[in-house]
């Protein structure tokens, strides 16, 4: 198909990440290379900004500003958690026609892919040549068709770094430390805590993921066993842990749901406090502390994974290349190239394959007992997260 | 006084910091320059390690290892929260005599200075030439006689960086974000959140410190006013906030006290959750989130303030210089030199002047309304914290 001529509209959606602006800037800079793209508009706060016709002309931004925005965490255009109705999608499609939009790019997770999918279907029904693309983003690393997703590597680098420091803190003071990590259904980010280990007795000593049923009794006996051996224990727990019936443990403390029907898990320390209290009572350990890493996991500046930043830039540029190269719609997927060294390629995959459903950790990444990760996970995640801070201990204590 | 000849014993105490190992390594490397110091021992877990005669011979550690330990967060010798009894101090003094210790260095906060003070008095009573020195450390920045303390600058850099990212996150999504910061009686670390601001509408928009009485009604109306104006609000709250009677707000949720009689404030998200719940009810704001930064503030690797690292190294070396230079006892204090540029010098001050009592934020650092800091604080803290990550927004949004 010949690339249409017209304007481009881009927006950001869902939870921010440390590198979602890399994808935005990657797309904007790539667009400047293509004559078929006239004006480049950014909509503020995702589809809400489209419905409100709240646009910025990104053609006015200098390259220096774009590069500075690219290394700034969070969504520079603002973001939104809004599931559009069929009526919204029709309105969005009309607004885009009025602004002569020929290219629409939406950066987000599976819900955002679903939104693009719906708008794309409206465009197809109307016989419009509108190009509709989803650009992947999620710290949860749970998009189908992707080896991994932009945003995950940097959040994972925060989590692994935090565990390196926190394990040293626990080593110095003793007791039990529980850290609650983001991830509603997929445990990838929690699993990344394992990258903190540099010696056999380093924490996290136990890792609890949403992919395996969580039992308080089992948790208490696991921790007690480590504590008995080392006099301390560091635990990584996903905010999304659920019991054998699939009921989220944290949902008992949450009274708030978002527009996608998801219970609020982040922005509260309730799950960590609950586990610490239960553990004190069950395992009779005096010093038990819990931290909930919260929003810092996705927003802490200056510590992004270099690999993640490069790939986030890459998927943004790739979406524009696919669209101007004749593809009508799709989602950009990161695929790992089988090779000795780490390498990826970007593919254009059908929107419906990425929309709605998410993926979880494969069983090969989780140990049999369901309280740790395997070496296969470490091998998978290490190149995405990249280099970590150097730490050491005295030779006499090694 | 002529410097005694004998062995040196050094240990770490209280909460770890990102740079307490700099002080340890500063002292150990300086000791190697002085012939009057024979063996250099490190006691594991502070005075507990002395009582247990649990010593490492730090003379066996290579310079490369020492330098690598110096940039590793947390206490490499382990630490302890233990207030020694008079009997403990007597035992410690006997053990040190037996190991021919002529130089004792204890790195910690005001409680640790108190411990050194008591051991020093036992030595003086016994007519021993034992040199007893306190090396300052605390992220709370609350030691008397000091312009600021090693550990504060790096923790403050974490807090300021975290607020930069979190404010961008809040800007992108809206709502109210409350972040709970460490600091039992002194608000310096919470105040450091203000360094995150790069534009007039940047958060934190409100800052609540232990130095001013906290009122829920006032808090709710302050937040509602900012929210009305900006559609969002980012708040920094010290874990140590207390009501008009001086009763800690968090103590209502804490059932645990340490050996110094302090209630557990960190390692729980209860205060943040309480404030978020109250705020939702009082200000009728839907999206309210709370994060408690917790132990990451003092342990996150790879992001220490360069100034803080240099000064922490400096106070360790200075203590050994004072002791080998003929001082019998004292605490090293960081004093700011009046000058155009930022500069400090290290002084030897009497132990009793640093022990027990702490200091709070001076009134000139807090605004009249008691919900923010002044420019005087920013000027004070900025050089200690040093450079921060670069962030920006689109020119059209400035």
Q: How many CB pairs under 8 A join A and B?
A: 228
Q: Which A residues 331-390 touch B at CB under 8 Å?
A: 388-390
What dotted CATH number matches B6-150+303-354? 3.40.50.450
A395 in reach of chain B (CB within 8 A): yes
* pLDDT cut 90: percent of chain A above it: 88
Q: Identical fold at B6-150+303-354 and B156-302+360-397?
A: yes
Contact A395 B166 (CB under 8 A): no
Question: Which of B189, B385, B205 minimizes the C-alpha distance to B293?
Answer: B189
Interface probe with A: pick from B13, B16, B158, B165, most Cβ of A within 10 Å:
B165
CATH T-level topology, domain A6-150+304-354: Rossmann fold (3.40.50)
| Cis-peptide into A85, omega within 30 deg | no
Residue B62: predicted pLDDT: 98
| Cβ–Cβ under 8 Å, residues A132 and A351 | yes
Residue B290: predicted pLDDT: 95
State how far the Cα of A257 lies from the Cα of B244, in Å rounded to an integer. Answer: 36
The architecture (CATH level 2) of B156-302+360-397 comes to: 3-Layer(aba) Sandwich (3.40)
B254-258 mean pLDDT: 68
A49 in reach of chain B (CB within 8 A): no
Contact B292 A295 (CB under 8 A): no
Residue B340 in this model has a pLDDT that exceeds 90: no
The shortest CB-CB distance from B172 to any of A42, A75, A161 is to A75
The 3-state DSSP class for residue B180 equals strand
Name every chain B residue with its beta carbon within 8 A of the beta carbon of A56.
Answer: 394, 396-397
Residue A144 in this model has a pLDDT that exceeds 70: yes
| Cβ–Cβ under 8 Å, residues A270 and A178 | no
Q: Which B residues 50-79 touch A at CB under 8 Å?
A: 56-58, 60-62, 65, 68-69, 71-79
Residue A280 in this model has a pLDDT that exceeds 90: yes
Interface probe with B: pick from A230, A295, A298, most Cβ of B within 10 Å:
A295
Name every chain B residue with its beta carbon within 8 A of the beta carbon of A389.
Answer: 301-302
Name every chain A residue with its beta carbon within 8 A of the beta carbon of B172.
Answer: 12, 16, 45, 74-76, 78-79
Name every chain A residue with its beta carbon within 8 A of the beta carbon of B81.
Answer: 173
Each residue of A69-128: pLDDT tens digit?
Answer: 999 999 999 999 988 888 998 899 899 999 999 999 999 999 999 999 999 999 999 999
* pLDDT cut 70: percent of chain B above it: 98
Residue B96: predicted pLDDT: 95
Residue B396 in this model has a pLDDT that exceeds 80: yes
Domain residue ranges in chain B: 6-150+303-354, 156-302+360-397
Contact A292 B296 (CB under 8 A): no
Chain centre distance of CA B164: 21
> Which entry of A57, A88, A100, A140 is annotated as an active-site residue?
A140
Residue B255 in this model has a pLDDT that exceeds 70: no
The shortest CB-CB distance from A267 to any of B42, B71, B291 is to B291
State how far the Cα of B324 lies from the Cα of A309, in Å rounded to an integer. Answer: 51
Residue A2 in this model has a pLDDT that exceeds 90: no
Indicate the average pLDDT of chain A.
95
| Cβ–Cβ under 8 Å, residues B264 and B254 | yes
Each residue of B272-288: pLDDT tens digit?
Answer: 999 999 999 998 898 99
Contact A296 B162 (CB under 8 A): yes
A149-172 mean pLDDT: 98
- Rounded to the nearest 5°, which phi and psi values hold at B351? -55, -45
Residue A256 in this model has a pLDDT that exceeds 80: no
β-bridge partners, B332:
B348
B290 in reach of chain A (CB within 8 A): yes
B20 in reach of chain A (CB within 8 A): no
Name every chain B residue with its beta carbon within 8 A of the beta carbon of A198.
Answer: none
CA closest to B68 among chain A residues? A392
Global pTM value: 0.97
B278 in reach of chain A (CB within 8 A): no
B295 in reach of chain A (CB within 8 A): yes
Residue B272: predicted pLDDT: 94
The CATH number of A155-302+360-397, from 1.10.1780.10, 1.10.10.410, 3.40.50.460, 3.50.50.60, is: 3.40.50.460
Interface probe with A: pick from B56, B178, B296, B304, most Cβ of A within 10 Å:
B296
State how far the Cα of B379 lies from the Cα of A236, in Å rounded to an integer. Answer: 39
A177 in reach of chain B (CB within 8 A): yes
A81 in reach of chain B (CB within 8 A): yes
Residue B198: predicted pLDDT: 95
β-bridge partners, B106:
B11, B134
Name every chain A residue with its beta carbon within 8 A of the beta carbon of B62.
Answer: 395
User: What band does A262 get if pLDDT is binned at 50, 70 and 90?
Assistant: low
Half-sphere exposure of A289 (CA within 13 A, CB side): 22
Residue A142 in this model has a pLDDT that exceeds 70: yes
**The Cα angle at residue B371 between residues B366 and B375, in degrees rounded to 5:** 40
State how far the Cα of A75 lies from the Cα of B170, in Å rounded to an integer. Answer: 10
Question: Which of B201, B195, B268, B278 minimizes the C-alpha distance to A280?
Answer: B268
A36-52 mean pLDDT: 97
Question: Which of B51, B57, B46, B50 minimizes the C-alpha distance to B7?
Answer: B57
Name every chain B residue with its beta carbon within 8 A of the beta carbon of A61.
Answer: 394-396
Each residue of B117-159: pLDDT tens digit?
Answer: 999 999 999 999 999 999 999 999 999 999 999 999 999 999 9
Residue B260: predicted pLDDT: 61
State how far the Cα of B298 lies from the Cα of B172, in Å rounded to an integer. Answer: 28
CA closest to B288 among chain A residues? A267
CA closest to B172 among chain A residues? A78
B293 in reach of chain A (CB within 8 A): yes
β-bridge partners, A304:
none
* Alpha-helical regions (H) of A253-391: 270-283, 296-299, 306-324, 351-354, 375-385
Question: Which of A21, A20, A107, A83 minimizes the C-alpha distance to A332?
Answer: A107
Contact B165 A79 (CB under 8 A): no
Residue B154: predicted pLDDT: 98
Q: How many helices and strands, by DSSP H and E, does chain A display?
A: 13, 11
Residue B323 in this model has a pLDDT that exceeds 80: yes
Name every chain B residue with its beta carbon within 8 A of the beta carbon of A76.
Answer: 172, 393-394, 397
Contact B173 A389 (CB under 8 A): no
The shortest CB-CB distance from A78 to any of B75, B172, B266 is to B172
What are the strands, taking DSSP E only, across chain A?
A: 6-12, 37-43, 55-57, 101-108, 131-136, 175-181, 206-208, 232-238, 288-292, 329-336, 344-349
A269 in reach of chain B (CB within 8 A): yes
Residue B100 among the catalytic residues: no
């Amino acid at each position: 198909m010949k690339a249409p001529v017209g304007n481009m509209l881009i927006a950001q959606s869902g939870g921010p990440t440390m590198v979602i602006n890399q994808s935005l800037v990657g797309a904007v800079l790539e667009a400047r290379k293509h004559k078929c793209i006239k004006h480049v508009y950014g909509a503020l706060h995702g589809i809400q900004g489209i419905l409100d016709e709240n646009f910025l002309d990104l053609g006015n931004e200098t390259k220096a500003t774009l590069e500075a925005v690219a290394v700034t965490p969070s969504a520079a255009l603002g973001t939104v958690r809004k599931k559009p109705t069929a009526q919204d999608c029709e309105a969005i499609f009309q607004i885009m026609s009025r602004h002569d939009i020929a290219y629409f790019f939406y950066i987000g997770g599976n819900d955002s892919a679903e939104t693009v999918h719906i708008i794309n279907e409206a465009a197809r029904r109307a016989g419009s040549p509108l190009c509709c693309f989803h650009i992947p983003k999620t710290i949860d690393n749970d998009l189908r068709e992707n080896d991994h997703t932009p945003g995950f590597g940097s959040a994972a680098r925060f989590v692994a770094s935090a565990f390196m420091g926190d394990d040293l803190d626990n080593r110095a003071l003793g007791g039990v430390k529980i850290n609650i990590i983001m991830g509603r259904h997929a445990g990838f980010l929690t699993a990344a805590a394992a990258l903190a280990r540099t010696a056999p007795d380093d924490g996290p000593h136990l890792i609890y993921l949403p992919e395996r049923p969580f039992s308080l009794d089992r948790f208490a006996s696991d921790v007690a066993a480590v504590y008995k051996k080392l006099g301390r224990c560091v635990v990584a727990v996903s905010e999304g842990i659920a019991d054998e019936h699939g009921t989220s443990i944290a949902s008992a403390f949450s009274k708030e749901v978002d527009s996608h029907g998801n219970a609020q898990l982040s922005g509260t320390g309730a799950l960590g406090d609950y586990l610490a209290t239960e553990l004190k009572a069950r395992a009779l350990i005096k010093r038990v502390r819990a931290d909930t890493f919260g929003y810092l996991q996705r927003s802490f500046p200056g510590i992004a994974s270099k690999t993640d930043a490069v790939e986030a830039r890459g998927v943004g540029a790739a979406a524009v290349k696919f669209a101007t190269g004749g593809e009508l719609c799709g989602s950009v997927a990161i695929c790992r190239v089988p090779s000795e060294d780490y390498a990826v390629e970007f593919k254009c995959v059908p929107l419906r394959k990425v929309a709605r459903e998410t993926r979880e950790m494969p069983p090969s990444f989780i140990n049999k007992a369901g309280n740790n990760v395997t070496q296969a996970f470490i091998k998978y995640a290490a190149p995405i997260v990249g280099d970590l801070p150097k730490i050491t201990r005295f030779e006499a204590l090694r």
